[in-house]
């Protein structure tokens, strides 16, 4: 059993700390947000992730997982300090490292014995060296420490599965012994461990996310060409995906990527390239295509409905993807705002993100279910691929709508079937 401090109880920190506790380690999860820590002590989680609440409660009951706001308390016996704080997008797309700096300074002020500091947050290349400099400069008396980069590759909606069954663990450090100790923490996961230097490990994270975002924008570009030429992008993607050099994942045409990682990380990588005098042409195009997919959804609504002023448009799904309540950079946000600017009355429903939607989109009328959204609507837009939307009673929905116009932003339905039901159906790249 190892003693671990995880700094930050957001998405990455809470999942990381809870999973390490479930593997038998003693974990103290720290956050300076007193309300968040108080809620966690009462069993109230700040995020929705399938299975996480049960795992938190189980490990708290077993005494392996505790929560605190006190740095020195959390670090007193810690062998490892995982920094898992937010790195939000800055003004020019750069990663804002103020929370990483605060964590590094607090670690320096509290540690009294050797410790390994592990950067779990997604941080610009060179941050590991920068954190080491901060800790050295801030220490009142020298205490040995090492810095290891261990980027996360968690997908919202399947984060526990991803942590416990990773495709690989990436570790970067200038201290081989420290890297080996962090590797030992991950041995129970029985996954390949890639050990490299700090900067290369940090770059692996950005390059991985940028490549996946590129796949999404690529298939959306193909989808738009399919629409013009009469081909079906779902069949195209299926045919492509059988090629092992391409693979099936991330070839679902739709409204583009969103969430807390891809948008922020692609922008940050492009910013790093520009600062170094490199022109990130591909990354810029990936972002342009992604933004266009959201505008295209509004264009399709307008084509079906005509003038949007005073029309009622319903959004089914508000989170950026299914099985999460995360609305950061969700396509539904952009689509709702664009529709409202054209005078439409926009309403929406999501199985789990209604509270976030109420805060982020106060002008959006929230409904109790999909059928309430459809009542009197001139058009519906499918924004999130929730399972409960796959088996809706569309005969009932058609009867409730003012006009049966449907923009399927996630290609959930068969176009021929929807047309037989009497819908004016518009998918993404369905030819």
Supply the residues annotated as catalytic: 261
Q: What is the full DSSP assignment across 295-343?
A: HHHHHHHHHHHS--TT-EEEEE--SSSTT----TT-HHHHHHHHHHHTT
H or E stretch covering 125: none
Q: Which helix (H) or strand (E) holds 153?
A: none
Which whole-number Å values give the CA distances from 182 to 3, 112, 118, 174, 395, in the listed order?
12, 20, 8, 13, 56
Neighbouring CB atoms inside 10 A of 424's CB total: 15
A 10 A CB-CB count for 8 gives: 25
Asked if 56 contacts 45 with a C-beta cutoff of 8 angstroms, the reply is yes
Strands 424-426 and 405-408, sheet pairing: parallel
Place of tokens 């946000």: 333
The whole-angstrom separation of Cα 147 and Cα 131 is: 8
Helices 11-22 and 52-61 pack at an angle, to 10 degrees, of: 50
Contact in structure between 389 and 412 (CB atoms under 8 Å): yes
What does each C-alpha distance from 377 to 296, 315, 333, 344, 345 come to in angstroms?
Answer: 20, 10, 19, 11, 9
| Rounded CA separation 171/193 (Å) | 7
Q: How far, in Å, CA of 68 to CA of 95, rounded? A: 27
Q: At what angle do helices 127-138 and 198-229 cross, to 10 degrees?
A: 140
Tell me the CA distances in angstroms from 314 to 96, 279, 318, 332, 361, one per residue in order: 35, 40, 11, 10, 14
Contacts of 320 (CB under 8 A, 6+ apart): 257, 258, 259, 326, 327, 328, 329, 330, 331, 332, 384
Which residues fall within 8 angstroms of residue 176, CB to CB, at 6 or more apart? Answer: 195
Beta carbons of 10 and 87 less than 8 angstroms apart? no
């Amino acid at each position: 059993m190892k003693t671990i401090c995880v700094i930050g109880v957001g998405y990455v920190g809470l999942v990381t700390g809870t999973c390490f506790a479930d593997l038998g380690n003693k974990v103290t999860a720290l956050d300076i947000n007193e309300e968040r820590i108080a809620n966690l002590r009462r069993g109230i989680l700040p995020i929705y992730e399938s299975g996480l609440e049960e795992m938190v409660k189980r490990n708290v009951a077993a005494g392996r997982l505790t929560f605190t706001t006190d740095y020195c308390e959390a670090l007193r016996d810690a062998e490892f300090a995982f920094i898992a704080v937010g790195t939000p997008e800055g003004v020019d797309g750069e990663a804002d490292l103020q929370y990483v700096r605060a964590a590094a300074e607090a670690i320096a002020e509290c540690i009294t014995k050797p410790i390994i500091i592990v950067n779990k947050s997604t941080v610009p290349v060179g941050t590991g060296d920068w954190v080491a400099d901060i800790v050295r400069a801030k220490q009142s008396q020298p205490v040995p420490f090492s810095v290891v980069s261990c980027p996360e590759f968690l997908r919202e909606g399947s984060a526990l599965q991803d942590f416990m069954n990773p495709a690989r663990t990436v570790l970067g450090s200038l201290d081989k012994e420290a890297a080996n100790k962090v590797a030992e923490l991950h041995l129970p996961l029985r996954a390949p461990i890639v050990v490299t230097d700090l900067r290369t490990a940090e770059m692996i994270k950005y390059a991985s996310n940028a490549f996946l975002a590129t796949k999404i924008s690529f298939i959306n570009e193909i989808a738009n060409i399919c629409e013009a030429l009469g081909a079906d992008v779902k069949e195209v993607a299926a045919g492509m995906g059988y090629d092992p050099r391409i693979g099936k994942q991330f070839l679902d045409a739709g409204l583009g990527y969103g969430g807390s990682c891809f948008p922020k990380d692609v922008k940050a990588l492009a910013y790093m390239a520009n600062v170094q005098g490199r022109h990130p042409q591909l990354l810029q195009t990936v972002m342009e295509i992604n933004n266009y997919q959201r505008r295209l959804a509004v264009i399709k609504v307008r084509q079906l409905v005509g003038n949007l002023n005073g029309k009622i448009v319903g959004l089914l799904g508000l989170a950026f993807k299914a099985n999460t309540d995360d609305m950061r950079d969700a396509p539904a946000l952009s689509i709702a705002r664009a529709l409202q600017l054209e005078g439409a009355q926009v309403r929406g429903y999501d199985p789990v993100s209604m509270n976030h939607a109420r805060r982020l989109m106060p002008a959006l009328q929230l409904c109790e279910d999909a059928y309430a959204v459809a009542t009197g609507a001139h058009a519906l837009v499918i924004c999130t691929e929730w399972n409960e939307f796959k088996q809706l009673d569309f005969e009932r929905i058609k009867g409730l709508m003012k006009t049966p116009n449907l923009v399927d932003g996630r290609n959930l339905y068969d176009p021929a079937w929807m047309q037989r039901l009497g819908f004016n159906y518009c998918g993404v790249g369905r030819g």
